[in-house]
Structure 1
Amino acid sequence: MKIVHVHHHYWPVVGGLENVVKALAEGMAKLRHEVHVITSQYGAENRPREEVINGVHIHRVKAVRLGYPDLTYPLKVPRDLLRNADVVHGHSQNSLFTVKVVEEAKKLGIKTMMHFMAVDALRDHPNALVRLLGPKYSNTMLKRALGIADVRLARSLRDKALIEGRFGVNVEYVPDGVPRWFIERDYLGDAFRSKYGINGDYVLYVGRLHPLKGVDVLIKAMSLVINKIDLRLVIVGPGERRPYMELARRVGVDKHVFFLGFISEEDKVGAIDGSIGVVLPSISNYVEVYPMIITEAWARAKPIIATMVGGVLYRVKHMTNGLLVSPRNPAALAEAIVTLAEDKELGRRLGAEGRKSVLTWDEIVNKLLSIYSGG
């Protein structure tokens, strides 16, 4: 089967959706399908316009960008490639690049798939201009994408429910997976602690250092936590650390918070293994469509403490596979952290329950291939 994936970013750009497209493309190529990715040159300006990596044919086309990555527009669409495809799979209806390329495939009579995400998720954005204009743009793109997709897919049950309820169309739920090794790898917690010099219990945050991710709320919560128990916070992920380090110092938890920046996948497994649980303190629907860190924590049988935003509510069930708290609430977050720290058996039970829902990328790839072929 000749399969074309479309998104405005691809490797070497690293991010949630970029990693998803890469996992799907390489997984399908390993099964001897002819797999292509149409993407823009943004983030890969030093790479060839055409290359093959791990069996995947990458086509970086010239594009223009109006500030935001989603507002990337292709100046050239490789129609000859689309014309010979069996299926064209677009990722994110919010991406102008994706919608334009899939639209061209539709005109050529090629079977089209669209993976929908972050539907109606900008209404709580902290930026007033984004709150004003974002919903209008996203609603326009949603309707446009629905019109060109032969098959509609959703990464989250939230987006599936919203689209089916509003438009009365069928949407296939195809979530993200993890590599099989992520589940099967031996325990790495002790090695991680030794490498980074972390002693004692800690909770873990993995993600960007971004205002919408609620890292400041988590640091403030830690100032309440350490008044009750001896606990540390390990923060893993890219972004500007300085404002968060200054906040930690102001609230008196700087000696309890470890900023590790970007770490390897193996070290991430160790960070999860060594923790008492993973905290997801986000404050906006937009940034938590299908949080991969939930899947990764559950893959290692670790519990999640998460705020009730985006797709989280459709996955984390309070006191069943995790703990839920309201966003922007340091006191509620602190209470949940203390609960988990003081009841290790609860953490084991929540993590074990979460692990039951984890799928591997092999399983996701096979499901998509069945959908492609009409199965």
Structure 2
Amino acid sequence: MKIIHVHHHYWPVIGGLENVVKALAEGMARLGHEVHVVTSTYGAEGRPREEVINGVHIHRVKSIRLGYPDLTYPLEVPRGILRDADVVHGHSQNSLFTVEMIREAKRLGARTVIHFMAVDSFNDHPSRLIRLLAPYYGRWSVRKAIEASDVRLVKSFRDMEILRNRYGIEAEYVPDGVDEGLLRKPNMAVEFRRKFGIQGPLIVYVGRLHKLKGIDVLIRALAIATKKEPSLKAVIAGPGDQRPYRELADKLGISDKVLFTGFVDEDTKVGAIDASIALTLPSVSDHVEVFSLAITEAWAREKPVIASAVGEIPYRVKHMVNGLLVPPGDPKALAEAMIALVQDRELSVRLGMEGRKSVFTWDEIVSKLLNIYTAR
């Protein structure tokens, strides 16, 4: 089967959705399918426009960008590749690049698939300008994606409900997976603690350092929690500007209780999760929580999650079943959840083991998608 994946970013750009597309494309190529990725040149300056990596044919097309990555518009369309495809799978209807490529693939007669993500999710965005203007773009992109797609997928039950209730369409649930090796990897907590010289209970955050991810809420919560649990520390692992968060920790007098690792390799990330009592995800907006791979990774290591009730999170994280839910932007509630798991290790273990039941591997997800592609 000739399969095309479409998104405005691909490797060497590293991010949640970029990693998802890479895992799917390479997984399908390993099974012997002819797999292509159509993407923009953004983030890949210096790389060839056409290359093959791990069996995946990559096509980078000239594009323009209107400020935000989602507003990337293709100036070229590889019609020959799209026309001959058995299926063209676009990732995120919020991506103008994806929508335009899928629309063209539909005109050329290809079978088209769209993975809808963060549908109508701009209403709680902290930026007043985005709250004002982005919903119009969001509704337009959803409608165009519906028109251009033969198959509609979601990785969020929230998005499934919105598509059904607001747009009158059904979509199939296909979440993200994890590598099989993550389930088999030995516990790496000791190595992580030795590497960074850390003792005592840990809370870990894994992801981008972005204002919508609520890192400031986490730091304020830690300042509250350490008044009752002075040995508690937080590990913040991921790329982004650390400066404002370091300054906040200094201001609150807890700079010695926060470890910023920056971007880390896979083993270090797994070690941080293994060494922790729980993964913490204090996001403040629906828009950034479509399907948190960090949650899946924590559950794969049998760790519970403390998370804000935004986006898809309350559909996956069930309070006192596989994690703890807290209101977004509430440091006091987050601190209380941290303290609860520090003081009740048996609860932490039980919640983490329950979360493990919800984890799928990439091989399972690839198999499911291939069945969807061929169903009529």
On whether the aligned pair clears a TM of 0.5, the verdict is yes
Equivalent residue for 2:277?
A: 276
Equivalent residue for 1:4?
A: 4
CA distance in 2, matches of 1:164, 1:299: 31
Structure 2 unaligned runs (5+)? none
Equivalent residue for 2:191?
A: 191
Runs of 4+ residues deviating >4 angstroms: none
Give the C-alpha shift of residue 167 in structure 1: 2.2
Instruction: State the AA in 1 paired with 2:337.
Output: A
Equivalent residue for 1:226?
A: 226
Give the C-alpha shift of residue 56 in structure 1: 0.1
User: Tell me, what secondary structure is at the counterpart of 1:255?
Assistant: helix
Equivalent residue for 2:290?
A: 289
Structure 1 unaligned runs (5+)? none
Equivalent residue for 1:301?
A: 302
CA distance in 2, matches of 1:176, 1:128: 31
Equivalent residue for 1:154?
A: 154
Give the C-alpha shift of residue 161 in structure 1: 1.2
> Are 2:33 and 1:33 equivalent residues in the alignment?
yes
CA distance in 1, matches of 2:23, 2:29: 10
Give the C-alpha shift of residue 16 in structure 1: 0.6
Give the C-alpha shift of residue 359 in structure 1: 0.1
Instruction: State the AA in 1 paired with 2:120.
Output: D
1:245-292 CA-partner distances (Å, limit 9, x unpaired): 110011111111111111101111111001011100010111111111
Percent identity, aligned pairs only?
A: 62
Q: CA RMSD in A?
A: 0.7
Equivalent residue for 1:52?
A: 52
User: Tell me, what secondary structure is at the counterpart of 1:121?
Assistant: coil
Q: Where in structure 2 are the equivalents of 1:1-375 lying within 5 Å? A: 1-229=1-229, 230-374=231-375
CA distance in 2, matches of 1:321, 1:232: 22
Q: TM-score, normalised by structure 2?
A: 0.99
1:163-201 CA-partner distances (Å, limit 9, x unpaired): 012222220100000000011101001011101111111
Give the C-alpha shift of residue 300 in structure 1: 0.2
CA distance in 2, matches of 1:121, 1:166: 13
CA distance in 2, matches of 1:82, 1:245: 47
CA distance in 2, matches of 1:15, 1:211: 16
User: Tell me, what secondary structure is at the counterpart of 1:323?
Assistant: strand
CA distance in 2, matches of 1:309, 1:31: 36
CA distance in 1, matches of 2:78, 2:290: 30
CA distance in 2, matches of 1:2, 1:73: 24
CA distance in 2, matches of 1:246, 1:169: 47
Instruction: State the AA in 2 paired with 1:200.
Output: G
The count of aligned residue pairs is: 375
Q: TM-score, normalised by structure 1?
A: 0.99
CA distance in 2, matches of 1:347, 1:334: 15
Give the C-alpha shift of residue 109 in structure 1: 1.1
Instruction: State the AA in 2 paired with 1:360.
Output: T
CA distance in 2, matches of 1:102, 1:241: 37
